[in-house]
Amino acid sequence: MTLLLVLGAPGVGVAAATIVYGAQSHVVERQAQERSRVPAVLLRDGVSARSTTGADFRGTHQVAPAHWTAPDGTPRTGTIEVGPDLRKGSRTSVWVRHDGQLVSPPLSRNEALTSSISAGLWTGAATALVFLGIRWWLRRCLDARRLADWDRRWAETGPLWNGENR
């Protein structure tokens, strides 16, 4: 069981990391093809805005209307997140799809590698915990069986030792 724990859990972790990295690599390639970084010009100064998604742990951030040209040549306007030092007329860049729709930056190879390593570590740890749980359960079952067998045998031999059958 220990050999299974020592070799199995890391093996499962490595397998999970490999699978996740393969899947993430496809995402990296697809997003690199689908997304483009284009220049944008701010139409007004940035104003503070609170995150509505709850996923932005920075609290408030600056947003401003901006104008950019989509990769297909279509002029687009929308609200983008900006740094506090950018003012009206400042140039920045935004990530867009081919139709000019705003998107988040594409996933990087490092982000894919980090997520696959994390998945591998957590999967390996979970596998180790499952092995340890099974080992604990088997040990309890075997101990209970041994104690029951010991009680049965003592019931047979105990009276002989105590001199009750003499």
Domain boundary residue, one of 56, 76, 103: 103
* Nearest-angstrom CA–CA distance, 159 and 166: 9
- Helix ranges, the chain (H): 2-3, 9-34, 109-162
pLDDT digits (tens, 9 = 90+) for 69-108: 999 899 999 999 888 778 888 899 999 998 899 999 999 9
Structural domain harbouring 29: 1-35+106-139
Average pLDDT over residues 140-163: 90
Does residue 97 share a domain with residue 111? no
Domain boundary residue, one of 77, 103, 129: 103
Does residue 93 share a domain with residue 82? yes
Tell me, yes or no, whether 121 lies in a domain.
yes
Tell me, yes or no, whether 119 lies in a domain.
yes
**What domain count does the chain have?**
2
Tell me, yes or no, whether 2 lies in a domain.
yes
pLDDT digits (tens, 9 = 90+) for 20-65: 999 999 999 999 999 999 999 999 887 877 655 555 555 567 899 9
pLDDT digits (tens, 9 = 90+) for 120-144: 999 999 999 999 999 999 999 999 9
Q: Let me know: does 95 contact 70? Beta carbons within 8 Å.
A: no
Banded pLDDT at 7 (limits 50, 70, 90): confident
